[in-house]
A and B are shown apart, each in its own frame.
Chain A
């Protein structure tokens, strides 16, 4: 379950990075 937790965390982190990139993209 540790690795499932880690991959969920990593996916959420990626989503945040993508949202940040989109926010900055349109600037």
Chain B
């Protein structure tokens, strides 16, 4: 639903990680669920959507019940943070080496989405807030440069 547009990219990231890293998929959905409930849990279309998302989360949690990243919040936090920083560092290395391409733009953007997801564990650190801001800005900036044929600085 349009009211939940703010979490559509997090849900897409969840889908993309379904096989590759189900823990990432789970926490992206948990973030979307929590945020979605704050945005709109009253209108029928949003309620229907959120109930379906909750069903999915509960079944994922059952499937992943042996994974410490799901059963222990602190392990989950570390998993998502490490993954986000890995994405960030890959994109940052490409950027510093002057290699600008779609994949690195996506890595910057995914890192920023996963830093949003970290907020399910509590308030973000100042460092993570800065990384998120930088990653989001870099993704937009390089994307625009490539689109207009400019070389990013």
Contacts and interface: CB of A to CB of B under 8 A. Distances in A.
A13 B36 CA distance: 12
Contact of A23 (B41, B51, B58): B58
Contacts of A20: 33-34, 37, 54
Interface residues of B, number: 18
Pick from A16, A20, A27 the residue with the most CB of B within 10 Å: A27
Contacts of B70: 27
Given A16-B37, A16-B50, A23 B42 contact: no
Contacts, number: 32
B73 interface: yes
Interface string A1-27: 000000001001100110110010011
Which secondary structure dominates where chain A touches chain B? helix
B71 interface: yes
A17 B94 CA distance: 42
Contacts of B30: 23
Contacts of B34: 20
Contacts of A9: 42, 47
Interface string B41-77: 1100001001100100110010000000011110010
B122 to A, nearest CB: 12
A13 B42 CA distance: 7
B42 A27 contact: no
Given A16-B50, A23-B61, 11 more contacts: A12-B51, A13-B41, A16-B54, A19-B54, A20-B33, A20-B54, A23-B30, A23-B58, A26-B61, A27-B73, A27-B76
Interface of B: 30, 33-34, 37, 41-42, 47, 50-51, 54, 57-58, 61, 70-73, 76
